[in-house]
Amino acid sequence: MNSLTQQQNGRNTEQPKAGPLYESSNIINVTPEGRIVSIFTGAWLVGNAISKVDKSPVSSLLKLLGAGYLLYRGISGNDLINGFIGKRKPDRHTASVNIRTSISIDNPREEVYYFWRQLNNLPVFMKHLQSVEENDPFHSHWVVKGPGGIGTLEWDAEIVKEVPGEIIGWRSLPGSSLATAGRVTFRETHNGGTEIDVMITYRPPAGYVGSGLAWLLNPAFENMIVKDIRRFKNYMETGEIVN
Protein backbone atom coordinates (compact mmCIF):
# COMPACT_ATOMS: atom_id res chain seq x y z
CA MET A 1 0.00 0.00 0.00
CA ASN A 2 1.54 3.29 -0.99
CA SER A 3 1.85 6.29 1.29
CA LEU A 4 -0.99 8.18 -0.47
CA THR A 5 -3.39 5.27 0.13
CA GLN A 6 -2.30 5.09 3.76
CA GLN A 7 -2.98 8.81 4.21
CA GLN A 8 -6.46 8.42 2.71
CA ASN A 9 -7.26 5.48 4.96
CA GLY A 10 -6.07 7.37 7.98
CA ARG A 11 -8.28 10.39 7.54
CA ASN A 12 -11.86 11.34 6.73
CA THR A 13 -12.11 11.46 2.93
CA GLU A 14 -15.66 12.89 2.89
CA GLN A 15 -15.97 15.84 0.55
CA PRO A 16 -16.39 19.19 2.29
CA LYS A 17 -19.94 20.53 2.22
CA ALA A 18 -20.94 23.85 0.80
CA GLY A 19 -22.36 26.49 3.07
CA PRO A 20 -26.02 26.33 4.17
CA LEU A 21 -27.08 29.15 1.84
CA TYR A 22 -25.64 27.35 -1.18
CA GLU A 23 -27.24 24.06 -0.18
CA SER A 24 -30.58 25.66 0.51
CA SER A 25 -30.56 27.32 -2.92
CA ASN A 26 -30.95 23.88 -4.52
CA ILE A 27 -34.21 23.15 -2.70
CA ILE A 28 -37.55 23.54 -4.44
CA ASN A 29 -39.71 24.74 -1.58
CA VAL A 30 -42.35 26.81 -3.40
CA THR A 31 -45.58 25.34 -4.78
CA PRO A 32 -46.54 25.86 -8.44
CA GLU A 33 -49.24 28.34 -7.39
CA GLY A 34 -46.78 30.27 -5.25
CA ARG A 35 -44.32 30.44 -8.12
CA ILE A 36 -47.00 31.86 -10.43
CA VAL A 37 -47.95 34.57 -7.96
CA SER A 38 -44.28 35.42 -7.32
CA ILE A 39 -43.71 35.91 -11.06
CA PHE A 40 -46.88 38.01 -11.40
CA THR A 41 -45.93 40.18 -8.44
CA GLY A 42 -42.30 40.55 -9.51
CA ALA A 43 -43.33 41.61 -13.01
CA TRP A 44 -45.84 44.10 -11.60
CA LEU A 45 -43.19 45.59 -9.30
CA VAL A 46 -40.78 45.99 -12.21
CA GLY A 47 -43.35 47.92 -14.22
CA ASN A 48 -44.35 50.03 -11.22
CA ALA A 49 -40.73 50.84 -10.35
CA ILE A 50 -39.82 51.83 -13.90
CA SER A 51 -42.87 54.09 -14.24
CA LYS A 52 -41.96 56.01 -11.06
CA VAL A 53 -38.16 56.00 -11.22
CA ASP A 54 -37.99 59.74 -11.94
CA LYS A 55 -40.22 60.71 -9.02
CA SER A 56 -39.07 58.14 -6.45
CA PRO A 57 -35.63 56.74 -7.38
CA VAL A 58 -34.94 55.20 -3.95
CA SER A 59 -38.37 53.58 -3.71
CA SER A 60 -38.04 52.34 -7.28
CA LEU A 61 -34.66 50.78 -6.51
CA LEU A 62 -36.10 48.94 -3.51
CA LYS A 63 -38.99 47.71 -5.64
CA LEU A 64 -36.58 46.46 -8.30
CA LEU A 65 -34.60 44.58 -5.66
CA GLY A 66 -37.79 43.00 -4.35
CA ALA A 67 -38.92 42.24 -7.89
CA GLY A 68 -35.63 40.49 -8.65
CA TYR A 69 -36.02 38.25 -5.63
CA LEU A 70 -39.65 37.43 -6.47
CA LEU A 71 -38.79 36.63 -10.09
CA TYR A 72 -35.95 34.38 -8.92
CA ARG A 73 -38.33 32.71 -6.46
CA GLY A 74 -40.97 32.13 -9.11
CA ILE A 75 -38.65 30.93 -11.86
CA SER A 76 -36.44 28.70 -9.68
CA GLY A 77 -39.10 27.44 -7.29
CA ASN A 78 -36.74 28.19 -4.41
CA ASP A 79 -37.28 30.55 -1.51
CA LEU A 80 -33.78 31.27 -0.17
CA ILE A 81 -35.10 32.55 3.15
CA ASN A 82 -37.13 29.41 3.81
CA GLY A 83 -34.26 27.25 2.62
CA PHE A 84 -31.71 29.01 4.82
CA ILE A 85 -33.78 28.49 7.97
CA GLY A 86 -34.29 24.84 7.04
CA LYS A 87 -37.85 25.06 5.78
CA ARG A 88 -38.00 22.50 3.00
CA LYS A 89 -41.74 22.28 2.53
CA PRO A 90 -44.01 25.12 1.43
CA ASP A 91 -46.08 26.72 4.15
CA ARG A 92 -49.67 25.63 3.76
CA HIS A 93 -51.03 28.26 6.13
CA THR A 94 -50.91 31.72 4.62
CA ALA A 95 -52.77 34.69 6.04
CA SER A 96 -56.17 35.71 4.73
CA VAL A 97 -56.77 39.16 3.29
CA ASN A 98 -60.16 40.77 3.86
CA ILE A 99 -61.58 43.55 1.70
CA ARG A 100 -64.83 45.41 2.36
CA THR A 101 -66.44 48.37 0.63
CA SER A 102 -69.94 49.88 0.39
CA ILE A 103 -71.58 52.26 -2.05
CA SER A 104 -75.03 53.67 -2.83
CA ILE A 105 -76.54 53.33 -6.31
CA ASP A 106 -79.57 55.24 -7.57
CA ASN A 107 -81.14 52.22 -9.28
CA PRO A 108 -83.82 50.01 -7.63
CA ARG A 109 -82.59 47.10 -5.51
CA GLU A 110 -84.07 44.33 -7.68
CA GLU A 111 -82.44 45.76 -10.81
CA VAL A 112 -79.03 46.03 -9.16
CA TYR A 113 -79.30 42.56 -7.66
CA TYR A 114 -80.26 40.76 -10.86
CA PHE A 115 -77.55 42.46 -12.89
CA TRP A 116 -74.91 41.31 -10.39
CA ARG A 117 -76.48 37.84 -10.16
CA GLN A 118 -75.68 37.30 -13.82
CA LEU A 119 -72.06 36.56 -12.94
CA ASN A 120 -70.82 36.85 -16.50
CA ASN A 121 -71.68 40.58 -16.19
CA LEU A 122 -68.97 41.09 -13.56
CA PRO A 123 -66.01 41.50 -15.98
CA VAL A 124 -67.90 44.37 -17.62
CA PHE A 125 -66.98 46.61 -14.69
CA MET A 126 -64.41 44.55 -12.75
CA LYS A 127 -61.26 45.26 -14.73
CA HIS A 128 -59.12 42.70 -12.87
CA LEU A 129 -61.48 39.93 -13.98
CA GLN A 130 -60.83 38.44 -17.38
CA SER A 131 -63.93 36.26 -17.45
CA VAL A 132 -66.57 34.55 -15.34
CA GLU A 133 -68.28 31.60 -16.99
CA GLU A 134 -71.45 30.20 -15.42
CA ASN A 135 -71.51 26.41 -15.62
CA ASP A 136 -74.94 26.20 -14.01
CA PRO A 137 -77.03 28.45 -11.71
CA PHE A 138 -74.70 27.80 -8.75
CA HIS A 139 -71.27 26.96 -10.19
CA SER A 140 -68.90 29.14 -12.19
CA HIS A 141 -65.34 29.35 -13.47
CA TRP A 142 -63.35 32.53 -12.75
CA VAL A 143 -60.26 33.86 -14.51
CA VAL A 144 -58.48 36.85 -12.96
CA LYS A 145 -55.65 38.85 -14.51
CA GLY A 146 -52.31 38.89 -12.74
CA PRO A 147 -50.76 42.13 -11.45
CA GLY A 148 -49.99 44.44 -14.35
CA GLY A 149 -52.18 42.28 -16.60
CA ILE A 150 -49.45 39.61 -16.78
CA GLY A 151 -50.67 36.02 -16.63
CA THR A 152 -53.87 34.68 -15.10
CA LEU A 153 -55.15 32.74 -12.11
CA GLU A 154 -58.21 30.49 -12.42
CA TRP A 155 -60.55 28.80 -9.99
CA ASP A 156 -64.02 27.28 -9.74
CA ALA A 157 -66.59 28.77 -7.37
CA GLU A 158 -70.05 27.98 -6.06
CA ILE A 159 -72.94 30.04 -4.70
CA VAL A 160 -73.30 28.99 -1.06
CA LYS A 161 -75.96 31.45 0.09
CA GLU A 162 -78.59 33.35 -1.81
CA VAL A 163 -81.65 35.36 -0.82
CA PRO A 164 -83.07 36.78 -4.06
CA GLY A 165 -82.83 40.54 -4.09
CA GLU A 166 -80.93 40.66 -0.80
CA ILE A 167 -77.72 38.62 -0.64
CA ILE A 168 -75.30 36.54 -2.72
CA GLY A 169 -72.54 34.54 -1.07
CA TRP A 170 -69.90 32.45 -2.84
CA ARG A 171 -66.65 30.58 -2.26
CA SER A 172 -64.01 28.84 -4.32
CA LEU A 173 -64.16 25.06 -4.55
CA PRO A 174 -61.59 22.86 -2.81
CA GLY A 175 -58.44 22.43 -4.86
CA SER A 176 -58.68 25.86 -6.48
CA SER A 177 -55.42 27.75 -7.05
CA LEU A 178 -56.82 30.70 -5.06
CA ALA A 179 -58.92 30.22 -1.93
CA THR A 180 -61.52 32.97 -1.92
CA ALA A 181 -64.98 33.75 -0.60
CA GLY A 182 -67.27 36.72 -0.86
CA ARG A 183 -70.65 38.17 -0.06
CA VAL A 184 -72.67 41.04 -1.47
CA THR A 185 -75.73 42.39 0.31
CA PHE A 186 -78.32 44.66 -1.29
CA ARG A 187 -80.40 47.07 0.81
CA GLU A 188 -83.05 49.49 -0.36
CA THR A 189 -82.36 53.11 0.55
CA HIS A 190 -84.98 55.64 1.66
CA ASN A 191 -85.01 57.25 -1.81
CA GLY A 192 -85.63 53.99 -3.67
CA GLY A 193 -82.01 53.36 -4.54
CA THR A 194 -79.71 50.55 -3.43
CA GLU A 195 -76.85 50.30 -0.97
CA ILE A 196 -74.53 47.41 -1.66
CA ASP A 197 -72.01 46.05 0.82
CA VAL A 198 -69.22 43.95 -0.70
CA MET A 199 -67.03 41.67 1.40
CA ILE A 200 -64.25 39.58 -0.19
CA THR A 201 -61.79 37.28 1.55
CA TYR A 202 -58.93 35.57 -0.19
CA ARG A 203 -56.04 33.42 0.93
CA PRO A 204 -52.96 33.57 -1.31
CA PRO A 205 -51.86 30.24 -2.79
CA ALA A 206 -49.75 27.95 -0.62
CA GLY A 207 -46.09 28.67 -1.05
CA TYR A 208 -46.67 32.41 -1.19
CA VAL A 209 -44.24 34.35 0.98
CA GLY A 210 -46.87 34.20 3.73
CA SER A 211 -48.14 37.39 5.25
CA GLY A 212 -44.97 39.15 4.09
CA LEU A 213 -46.47 39.57 0.61
CA ALA A 214 -50.07 39.50 1.72
CA TRP A 215 -49.65 43.04 3.09
CA LEU A 216 -47.88 44.05 -0.12
CA LEU A 217 -50.75 43.02 -2.38
CA ASN A 218 -53.58 43.92 -0.06
CA PRO A 219 -53.56 47.69 -0.82
CA ALA A 220 -53.35 47.01 -4.56
CA PHE A 221 -56.17 44.49 -4.55
CA GLU A 222 -58.33 46.59 -2.25
CA ASN A 223 -57.84 49.59 -4.50
CA MET A 224 -58.86 47.48 -7.51
CA ILE A 225 -62.05 46.30 -5.81
CA VAL A 226 -63.03 49.81 -4.72
CA LYS A 227 -62.53 51.13 -8.25
CA ASP A 228 -64.49 48.20 -9.67
CA ILE A 229 -67.45 48.92 -7.40
CA ARG A 230 -67.37 52.57 -8.45
CA ARG A 231 -67.43 51.46 -12.08
CA PHE A 232 -70.42 49.26 -11.25
CA LYS A 233 -72.25 52.24 -9.77
CA ASN A 234 -71.49 54.39 -12.81
CA TYR A 235 -72.52 51.65 -15.22
CA MET A 236 -75.84 51.02 -13.46
CA GLU A 237 -76.67 54.72 -13.32
CA THR A 238 -75.42 55.86 -16.73
CA GLY A 239 -74.83 52.72 -18.81
CA GLU A 240 -71.23 53.80 -19.37
CA ILE A 241 -67.94 52.29 -18.24
CA VAL A 242 -65.31 54.64 -16.81
CA ASN A 243 -61.63 53.82 -16.38
Mean pLDDT value across residues 22-36: 55
Cβ of 168: how many Cβ atoms within 10 Å?
Answer: 20
**Each residue's pLDDT tens digit, 87-132:** 444 444 455 677 888 999 999 999 999 999 999 999 998 887 889 9
Q: Out of 17-26, 59-68, 69-78, 89-98, which region has the weakest mean confidence (pLDDT)?
A: 17-26
Mean pLDDT in the chain?
75
Q: Are 104 and 194 in contact (CB under 8 A)?
A: yes
Q: Out of 65-69, 132-136, 139-143, 154-158, which region has the weakest mean confidence (pLDDT)?
A: 65-69
Is the model's pTM score more than 0.85?
Answer: no
| DSSP H helices in the chain | 3-9, 20-24, 32-51, 57-76, 80-84, 109-117, 122-125, 210-238
End-to-end CA distance of the chain: 83
CATH architecture group of domain 97-238: 2-Layer Sandwich (3.30)
129 phi/psi in degrees, rounded to 5: -90, 130
Map out the domains of the chain as residue ranges.
20-84, 97-238
